[in-house]
Amino acid sequence: MTVAYYVGTTGTGKTTLMCAEGLTKAAQRGVPAILLDSEGVVGRDKFDADTAATFEQLVVMVWREGRHARFHPSGAAEVGRLAEIIRRGKDCVLLIDEISYWGRGASPVPELARLYRIHRHSRLDLYATSQYPGDISPLIWNIRSDTVVFRNDSLRALERLSEELRLTDEEEEAITTLPNLKCIRFQTGQVRQSLVLTPADSPEEPVAAPPVEAPITPPEGGGPEVSPPVTPPADPT
């Protein structure tokens, strides 16, 4: 199951990519997608679905009619109600634009934090954007499979990203100068993976990010050693 965060400043492409990947996942699984549009500003060009005017209408659109839907919550209570319904077995792919509204610091919406904690047991796919990852509660932020970083020159944001992702100096510098619609994807795994600059919404070929110098080591607590990839010799013919 995917738990992905897309972080960066406004206009860099994070919401565009989140919506594209979230809708692709929904199509693969054959389930509806819900966009929680926290600020009510996500364009239909990014998420092509009708807006539910009320919470009750959202439930009808998604789980009776099987349609994608967008929803602008009136407050934390509606976010909590939705999270609880999903936790109890209503299947969907959930996308949250600017999750900091509902997952801030030491007081995230309790039902939303609980939903993140049990996502694997409930087979949930969760996608979220944020301009300020430093504002996101560890109860939510620490549960992730993918972190997709767009341009960000906020010192507070870079400190959080550097601490959590163990950024090199080269990676930090790259993040502050990324052009729009370009990003670096970090995927959580047993060993640190190579990083790739990928287009968020462009047909161009991916461009390799600066190489990672850290040695490959087994995960904490033991486990089989992971050898570096071996490059086969050139064909003499």
What lies within 8 Å, CB to CB, of 16 at 6+ separation is 46, 181, 200, 201
CATH says 3-208 is which class? alpha beta
Beta-sheet pairing, 182-187 with 196-199: antiparallel
pLDDT in tens, 187-233: 875 333 444 445 444 434 333 333 333 333 334 444 333 334 444 44
Beta-sheet pairing, 69-71 with 207-208: unpaired
pLDDT in tens, 16-26: 999 999 999 99
Beta-sheet pairing, 51-52 with 93-97: unpaired
Whole-angstrom Cα Rg for the chain: 19
Sequence letter at residue 97: D
Residue tagged 């993140």 (tokens): 116
What is the residue extent of each domain of the chain?
Answer: 3-208
Q: Across residues 142-153, what is the average pLDDT?
A: 92
CA distance 34 to 50: 10
